[in-house]
Amino acid sequence: PDTPGSWFADRRVMAIDGTCLDIADTEANEAHFGRPPSSRGDRSAFPQARMVALAECGTHAIVDAVVGPCTSSEVEFARELISRL
C-alpha cells in the first residue's frame, strides 16, 4: 500500500524546506561554510551549513538537496532545486 499523504490526484506530494546544521569544528569547514554570529556578538560554537531539501511529504524521504554556506539564501537554494525538477 502507498504511504498516506504521498499522492494526490496521481501526483507525488513534495515539499521544499530549509535548515541550518552544525558541522564539525574544523578550519576547512569554517573557511567554506562559515559561522553565524551569536546573540552575544561572538561567533557561534560551530560552523554551520545551510541545507534546502526537496522531500516527499508522505515518507519524508529527501529526494534532492542543496548544501552551502550558512550565509547563503534559502530562496536561492530553493530556486536551484526547482530548476532541477
User: pLDDT digits over 35-74, tens only?
Assistant: 988 777 777 889 999 999 999 988 889 999 999 999 999 9
Sheet holding 48-56, edge to edge: 14-22, 48-56, 62-69
Is residue 46 within 8 A of residue 20, CB to CB? The reply is: no
Does the pTM of the predicted model rise above 0.75?
yes
Residue 11 has pLDDT above 90, yes or no: no
How far, rounded to the nearest angstrom, does the alpha carbon of residue 63 sit from its chain's CA centroid? 12
What type of residue sits at position 43?
A: R
Among 7, 6, 10, 34, which residue's Cα sits nearest to residue 20?
34
C-alpha cell at 21: 546544521
